[in-house]
């Protein structure tokens, strides 16, 4: 049963200036080294997602898609900041390494995060095919995901104000399954805040702490 993520050469419309990217990452990202190669994750991500494969380390890069975009769309900087804020909490997210908001580097904002060794839930479901999902595994994953979302929903500011984070796009492709059995949540690009009264609020990045 093959559950590995599908990786392809970088699509023409999403090509990066690899020399400029390498120069920037060598100066700002610990563990990055040359030679390295870039592959693109295949799937339904709204923001193009790439594997940076160095000799000793692997990283994941996410950036805005090409073309003219609405100001409120594809806010990878917001996604980074939300996940960075959740990094040392009980919400399981990959480690966030850096955000580059200098569009001169590769032409758009991007961030780099931990590469989680293992499939996403969508890949596991596809690999199982007609086989039933093991009940014990389904229960364990369900508990982990619900526990993580509950912690996100109950988040508070440093001043104690209730501003629970609503993911906004929970789907099997946004749940990574690490080799050590931990389900990690990704793609918080559509996340919103919920006030203490329970009403939907603004995006996490636009709310002061």
Q: Is residue 1 part of a domain?
A: no
Give Cβ neighbours of residue 68 (< 8 Å, ≥ 6 apart): none
Of the segments 45-59, 94-108, 160-174, 180-194, which one has the largest average pLDDT value? Answer: 94-108
Q: Whole-model pTM?
A: 0.82
Last residue of a domain, one of 114, 135, 170: 114
What pLDDT was estimated at residue 199? Answer: 46
What pLDDT was estimated at residue 143? Answer: 94
Same domain, 12 and 110: yes
Q: Is residue 108 part of a domain?
A: yes
Same domain, 149 and 181: yes
Same domain, 91 and 14: yes
Instruction: Report the percent of the chain where pLDDT is more than 90.
Output: 34
43 phi-psi bin (left φ>0, alpha ψ -120 to 50, beta other): left
Of 37 and 69, which is predicted with more confidence? 37
Q: Is there a contact between 85 and 177 (Cβ–Cβ < 8 Å)?
A: no
Same domain, 74 and 21: yes
Q: Is residue 2 part of a domain?
A: no
Number of other residues whose CB lies within 10 A of the CB of residue 17: 13
Reported as half-sphere exposure (CB side, CA atoms, 13 A), residue 112 has a value of 20
Same domain, 107 and 125: no
Least-confidence region, from 3-7, 17-21, 123-127, 193-197: 193-197
Q: What is the extent of the structural domain holding 89?
A: 7-114
pLDDT confidence tier of residue 203, bands split at 50, 70 and 90: low
Domain count, the chain: 2
CATH number at residue 142: 1.10.510.10
Of 99 and 85, which is predicted with more confidence? 99
Structure tokens at 34: 């040359």
Same domain, 100 and 183: no
Of 73 and 190, which is predicted with more confidence? 190
What pLDDT was estimated at residue 35? Answer: 92
Give Cβ neighbours of residue 170 (< 8 Å, ≥ 6 apart): 145, 149, 185
Last residue of a domain, one of 80, 99, 114: 114
Would you say residue 100 has pLDDT above 80? yes
What pLDDT was estimated at residue 97? Answer: 97
What pLDDT was estimated at residue 114? Answer: 94
Same domain, 142 and 80: no
Same domain, 87 and 14: yes
Q: Is residue 80 part of a domain?
A: yes
Last residue of a domain, one of 68, 99, 114: 114
Nearest to 34 by CA among 48, 49, 57, 55: 55
Same domain, 96 and 148: no
Q: Is there a contact between 65 and 74 (Cβ–Cβ < 8 Å)?
A: yes
CATH number at residue 53: 3.30.200.20
């Amino acid at each position: 049963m093959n559950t590995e993520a599908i990786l392809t050469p970088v699509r023409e419309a999403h090509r990066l200036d690899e020399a400029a990217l390498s120069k920037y990452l060598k100066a700002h990202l610990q563990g990055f080294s040359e030679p390295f190669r870039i592959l693109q994750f295949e799937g339904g991500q709204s923001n193009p997602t790439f594997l940076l494969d160095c000799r000793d380390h692997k990283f994941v890069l996410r950036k805005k898609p090409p073309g003219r975009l609405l100001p409120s769309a594809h806010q990878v900087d917001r996604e980074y900041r939300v996940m960075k804020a959740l990094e040392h909490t009980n919400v399981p997210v990959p480690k966030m390494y850096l955000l580059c908001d200098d569009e001169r580097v590769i032409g758009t904002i991007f961030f780099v995060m931990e590469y989680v060794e293992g499939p996403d839930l969508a890949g596991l479901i596809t690999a199982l095919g007609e086989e039933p999902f093991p009940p014990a595994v389904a229960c364990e994953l369900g508990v982990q995901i619900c526990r993580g979302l509950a912690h996100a929903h109950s988040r508070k500011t440093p001043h104690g104000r209730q501003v629970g984070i609503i993911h906004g796009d929970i789907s099997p492709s946004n749940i990574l399954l690490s080799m050590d059995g931990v389900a990690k949540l990704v793609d918080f690009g559509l996340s919103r805040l919920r006030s203490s009264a329970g009403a939907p609020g603004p995006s996490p990045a636009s709310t002061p702490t």
